Amino acid sequence: MKKFADTVRRLLSIALNLFIVWAEPIALPMSWDWGKEQMFIFYTEDSNILSACICAMVAVGQLVCIFTGRELPRWLHTLKYIATCCLTMTFLTVVFVLGPMYEDGNGWYIMLCTSSMLYHHLLNPLAAIFSFVLLERTPRLPRSTVKWALLPTVLYGGIILWLNIQRVVDGPYPFMKVYDQSVQASVLWCIAILLMNYFYAWLLWKLNGGKKENA
């Protein structure tokens, strides 16, 4: 019975990971039509491309696990954790920051239910969260893994902020526009985003059943 339950769990994990892989060829052309190469300066597109690649690896890994009876390698589980944190950051930033910025009150609908944003802001993040939290609970990740989930955000933020300072790009997010706000505001935004990212990463680690001891 346990073997059957494990097989079902892995098949569901494969299905959700492949959904994210399947969604990218649909969503990316929409993003390209909207902004061409400018789409690559958005955290949303970058995190979804990264996550699709990792989810493809996880789907293959889960298929191997069905035949071997083993669990995902820790390194692959860690990559899925990092990808899930990125998509969670995308989803919740839209919900709590970008959505409310629309003055007409349609921000959440526009950013969660239209064009490529339906996949990149809503469906892909939810698929990643559900699969990671409910279906990919082993091997348990040590508490020290949480800090690595911030790495993509730090790298992205550092590069985009520098490009904004050099006036190579403008934004693309309102809180990244360093010349439209004070230095103090930019610093506070950076701190707030990293704190949010850390909290989301810690919460996902906790919900996934992460272990406290370092390993």
- Using alpha carbons, select from 65, 53, 70 the residue that is nearest to residue 18: 53
At 62-110, the pLDDT tens digits run: 999 999 989 899 999 999 999 999 999 999 999 998 888 876 778 899 9
> CA-CA distance, 20 to 48, in Å (whole number)?
8
Closest CA relative to residue 189, chosen from 149, 160, 147: 160
The candidate with the shortest Cα–Cα distance to 57, out of 87, 13, 90, 101, is 13
Q: Distance between CA atoms of 61 and 76, rounded to whole angstroms?
A: 8
Interval 35-50 mean pLDDT: 94
What local confidence, expressed as pLDDT, does residue 210 receive?
83
pLDDT (tens digit, 9 = 90+) per residue, 174-212?
A: 889 999 999 999 999 999 999 999 999 999 999 999 876
DSSP for 26-48, please give it.
HHHHHHHHHHGGGGGGSHHHHHH
Burial readout 10-31 (b: 16 or more C-beta within 10 A, e: otherwise): bebbbebbbbbbebbeebbebb
**Residues counted in the chain:** 215
The answer to whether 160 touches 41, Cβ cutoff 8 Å, is: yes
Reported as a single tens digit per residue, the pLDDT across 117-154 is 999 999 999 999 999 999 999 999 999 999 999 999 99
When pLDDT is cut at 50, 70 and 90, the band that residue 165 belongs to is very high
Nearest CA to 157 among 117, 195, 124? 195
Distance, CA of 82 to CA of 201 (rounded, Å): 8
pLDDT of residue 1: 77
Mean pLDDT of the chain: 93
Backbone angles phi, psi at 123, to 5 degrees: -70, -45
22 vs 5 pLDDT, higher one: 22
Q: Tell me the domain boundaries of the chain.
A: 2-137+144-207
Instruction: Decide: helix, strand or coil at residue 112.
Output: helix
Predicted TM-score (pTM) of the model is: 0.94
Q: Residue 215: what pLDDT?
A: 43
Among the residues of the chain, which ranges form H helices? 2-35, 43-68, 74-93, 107-113, 117, 124-130, 151-165, 183-207
pLDDT band at 213 (very low <50, low <70, confident <90, very high): low
Q: What is the pLDDT at residue 199?
A: 96
Residue 152: partners with Cβ closer than 8 Å, 6 or more residues away:
46, 47, 50, 82, 85, 86
To the nearest 10 degrees (0 to 180), the angle between helices 43-68 and 2-35 is 160
